[in-house]
Amino acid sequence: SPVVAVLPAAGSGVRLGAGVPKAFVEIGGVPMLVRAVDGLLSSGVVGHVVVVVPVEQLRDAVGLLPDRPVTVVPGGADRTASVAAGLAAIGPDAEVVLVHDAARPLTPAGVVRRVVDAVRAGAPAVIPVLPVTDTVKTVDDSGTVVSTVDRSALRAVQTPQGFRARELRLAYARGPDPATDDAGLVEALGEPVATVAGDPLAFKVTTGWDLRLAGLLLEDASA
Ligand code: C5P
C-alpha cells in the first residue's frame, strides 16, 4: 500500500536570517527542500510527497522539483497548520503517512525505512529518536536550577514521524493543538507512540551554525 510523505517547508526561517524561506536555502548548491524530497524518495518506500511551501514560493517550488512524484501546496501560519494543509492534499488510499521537515535535509534513507517498517509492523505512530547526551536540568524564572532530570529516560525526537493514516487524520481532526510534533497529537488520542533509532545526520537546520555543519558534512561525504 502506498506511503505518502508530507514535507512542511513553509517556515520563514527568521532564526537562520538568510533572507529567503529556510527550505529554499542551498546546501552544496541544492535547496534544502529538494534534498529533503529526494532523500524521502531515495528510501524506495515513499511513493509520493506533498510539499508545503509559503504561498509566495509555490511556482518556485514546482520549478525546483521537476520529474518527481510531488504535489506542492501552500502552507499556514505555523507548522501544525502547514501539516494540516498537506494532509488535506493526500488521497484517500494512503495507509501510511510520514511527516518530515524540509529543515532535515541530510536525513539518511535508513531512518525513513525504519519508521515505515515499524508502522507496517503495526504501530499507529512511530518516531525516530536519539539518546540525550548532555545533562538536562529544569530551572525557575531566575535561572536557578530546580532539578536534574534522569537523562537515561530522555530521547531527542527527529523526523520523519510515521503514522497509520487513520490515526493521524483523527489527531488533526481534533483541531489545532499547540503540540511541538505530530506524534504529540496522536499521543493526546491515547495511542501508543513507538520509537526507532534516529541518526545524527537527521539533525534540524535551525541556525547559521547548523547550516555550516550541513555544508561541511556534505563536503566530507563527497571527499
Ligand atoms: O521552524 P522549524 O525549524 O521548527 O520548522 C520545522 C519545519 O516546519 C520546517 O521544515 C519549516 O519549513 C516547516 N514550517 C512550515 N510552516 C510554518 C512553519 C514551519 O511548514 N508555518
pLDDT beyond 70 at 157 = yes
Kindly tell me the sign of the dihedral angle through the C-alpha atoms of 50, 52, 55, 56: negative
> What confidence tier does 216 reach under pLDDT thresholds 50, 70, 90?
very high
Which residue among 14, 40, 80, 82 is best mutated to probe the pocket of ligand 1, counting the most ligand atoms within 8 A of its Cβ?
82
CA 8 / ligand 1 centre spacing (Å) = 6
Q: How far apart are the first and last CA of the chain?
A: 38
Q: Confidence band (pLDDT; 50, 70, 90) for 222?
A: confident
**Measured in angstroms, how far is the CA atom of residue 144 from the centroid of ligand 1?**
31
Average pLDDT over residues 125-150: 97
Q: What is the CATH number of the domain that holds 125?
A: 3.90.550.10
How many angstroms separate the CA atoms of 32 and 110, rounded? 19
SS (H, E, C) the chain: CCEEEEEECCCCCCCCCCCCCHHHCEECCEEHHHHHHHHHHHCCCCCEEEEEECHHHHHHHHHHCCCCCEEEEECCCCHHHHHHHHHHCCCCCCCEEEECCCCCCCCCHHHHHHHHHHHHCCCCEEEEEEECCCCCEEECCCCCEEEECCHHHCEEECCCEEEEHHHHHHHHHCCCCCCCCHHHHHHHCCCCEEEEECCHHHCCCCCHHHHHHHHHHHHHHHC
Atom 3 (ligand 1) nearest CA: 206
- How high is the mean pLDDT of the chain? 94
Q: In this structure, are residues 17 and 8 in contact, taking their beta carbons and an 8 Å threshold? A: no
Q: Is the pLDDT of residue 44 over 70?
A: yes
Looking at ligand 1, which residue's alpha carbon is closest to its atom 14? 11
Task: Please state the rounded mean pLDDT for residues 51-68.
Answer: 97
- The range of the structural domain enclosing residue 87 comes to 3-222
Least confident of 98-102, 156-160, 175-179: 175-179
pLDDT at 180: 73
Q: Which atom of ligand 1 is nearest to the CA of 32?
A: 10
Reference 126, options 95, 154, 158, 93; nearest CA is 158
pLDDT of residue 15: 83
pLDDT > 90? residue 67: yes
Interface confidence (ipTM) of the complex: 0.96
Supply the pLDDT for residue 176. 64
Distance (Å) from CA 67 to ligand 1 centroid: 24
Nearest residue by C-alpha to atom 18 in ligand 1: 11
CA 153 from chain centre, in angstroms, equals: 23
Q: What is the mean pLDDT of residues 139-155?
A: 96
C-alpha cell at 117: 517498517
**Structural domains of the chain, count:** 1
The pLDDT of 146-157, averaged and rounded, is: 95
Cell 539518511: give the residue. Answer: 108
**CA 39–ligand 1 middle distance (angstroms):** 18
- Ligand 1 centroid distance, CA of 36 (Å): 13
Cis peptide bond N-terminal to 160, omega within 30:
yes
Q: Which residues line ligand 1 (CB under 6 A)?
A: 8-11, 22-23, 52, 75-79, 82, 101-103, 204, 206
